[in-house]
Structure 1
Amino acid sequence: MKGLIAKKTGMTQVFDENGDLTPVTVIRVEPNTVVALKTKEKFGYDAVVLGLDDLKPAKVSKPYAGSFPENVTPKRNVKEFRDFEAEVAVGDTVGIELFDGVRYVDVTAVSKGKGTQGVVKRWGFGGGRASHGSKFHREPGSTGQCTSPGRSFKNVKMPGRMGRERVTVQNLRVIKVDPELGVVMVCGSVPGVKDCTLIIKSAVKKEF
């Protein structure tokens, strides 16, 4: 598997050789530092730990700094990737060149927070008639029973907090990889707000 820690930049559009326009989401890939290596003999599986964004020394506690090698500056974002395909060593940097030839990717990030929402927006309920006097427009309706057990069951779709959840969007088609700008352009929606940190990996359900 190929994967890196990256950041969402925004959206733009590109034109192909036939002049067709394709809207794309721009993902900025900065060099990731190899923080640690995990082997099957010691941990039971093979993995590579990558880090991104240096932390100021004043903001690093001694226990957290002790988890990094001496030649690696403590990082703000740390992520473990199992079965990493590239051969790397502790202290090396891995960049956008990792995605050369990759056709589809999976992107994981924390989605935008929408606050407290009703059942129409949160769950897509149809609601009632919009005409005057119907007295039933956007309410959730009955949620339980008046007799035994006399309560609402778990997982009943009701109003509540929406968004701000870990989301993975799979099989995003890679339109362009620009090593000079350090960006990957994918066709499709990417979760998260602008400049959020995300995980970009080679797709697990499609060939790449």
Structure 2
Amino acid sequence: MILVGSAGVFAAAAVSLRIAYCAGRAARAIRRERSRLRRGLAVVARCDPAWPGTVVIDRPEATAFCLPGRRGGTVVLSTGALSRLSPPEVQTVLAHERAHLQGHHDVVVWAAQSLREAFPFVPLFTAAAAALPGLVEMAADDVASRASSRRVLAFALLRMADVTAPASSMGVGGSAISRRVRRLLQPTPSGRVRRTAAVAVGVILLVAPMATFASAVTAGCRLGMTS
């Protein structure tokens, strides 16, 4: 039984080291990309008194994204977005981006992607990494729709459906635009209820396997030590 306990300890250490390695490598890549973006923004971005708390870049394409970081991160708007969207739509887009920052959605996506990279043979982690980007976009949609209305946000999403955000940032365009718009235009709040349930289930499914594994290892160690 001591051998079983020792094997459990080594297995737990191997799993932890694999997760730490993959998570650290992903985090370093994200930091490098964000540093590059910040250097670029320092050159081309400007503050606009009409939209406090954001920076504006002169770009004809309608772009809106947030760059997580210290001091709450940065929300970026393009002049193309300001010309394409109405003021209420701009406010809703800004609320969407701030919801990403306040909810630390980038950390959730990073954690899921790290687990997928660490254990690509586990279907659950692959499915979670694929689903979570869309789920966090819907979570930000729910917050943003309270700042104005679900219809205003839906039209803003349609106007920016062709937008792609930089890889290390989070943009309002995001994924599954048509699905998100249909959900926002539902006449009842049932979509929000289903959304909350989906997030809860996703988190449970993501954490449960690791928690179960850790519990099994701990039990094995105790059994080996007491035998």
Question: TM-score, structure 2 length as denominator?
Answer: 0.22
Normalised TM-score (structure 1): 0.23
Which structure is higher in helix share?
A: 2
Larger radius of gyration: 1
